[in-house]
Amino acid sequence: MTVGDELRHRFDGESVGRALDLVGEKWTLLILREAFFGVRRYGQLARNLSIPRPTLSARLRTLVEAGLLDRVRYATDPDRHEYRLTRAGQDLYPAIVVLMRWGDSYLAGPAGPPIVLRHHSCGEPAEAFLACRHCGEEITAHNVTPEPGPGFAT
């Protein structure tokens, strides 16, 4: 069974609902954000997020069970583990960037965004947008039409 199959069996509803069932809780998204920024260790996550340790343990367990993070031993005696994004976890990066962009546009204070993502290739602050892979045009709510897909339940 693939990660996708496992997730479909575990969470009910349509795609957005299933995704939100898994990652829609505040701490889960913040843990993923930290993972994208290179934070891998439990203590670092606890410190950076000021998250209650039982909550952090539960969220990490869920992310590992869902296949978004791998728990990898990096030391023994005592055993120490770090959390690394899987392919499925890495594929959530655009969602985190879009949420950051929206928050920076509508919720940032007068000083501006707290974090800026600098694009390596051009050296400029990244201005991400959603585009069609086929034609490159930006995707908006006004230029797409939802249609039943192969998994549509009748």
pLDDT in tens, 136-149: 999 999 999 988 88
Q: How far apart are CA 131 and CA 23, in angstroms?
A: 23
pLDDT in tens, 85-104: 999 999 999 999 999 999 99
pLDDT in tens, 31-63: 999 999 999 999 999 999 999 999 999 999 999
**Measured distance between the N- and C-terminal CA atoms of the chain, rounded to whole angstroms:** 25
The token pair that represents 31 in the structure block: 């843990």
Q: Is the dihedral of CA 85, 63, 56, 26 positive or negative?
A: positive
3.40.630.10, 1.10.10.10, 2.170.190.11, 3.40.630.30: which CATH number matches 3-89? 1.10.10.10
Q: What CA dihedral angle connects 114, 119, 125 and 130, to 10 degrees?
A: -90
Q: Is the dihedral of CA 85, 93, 106, 23 positive or negative?
A: negative
Could you tell me which residues are beta bridge partners of residue 127?
Answer: none
The token pair that represents 154 in the structure block: 């009748």
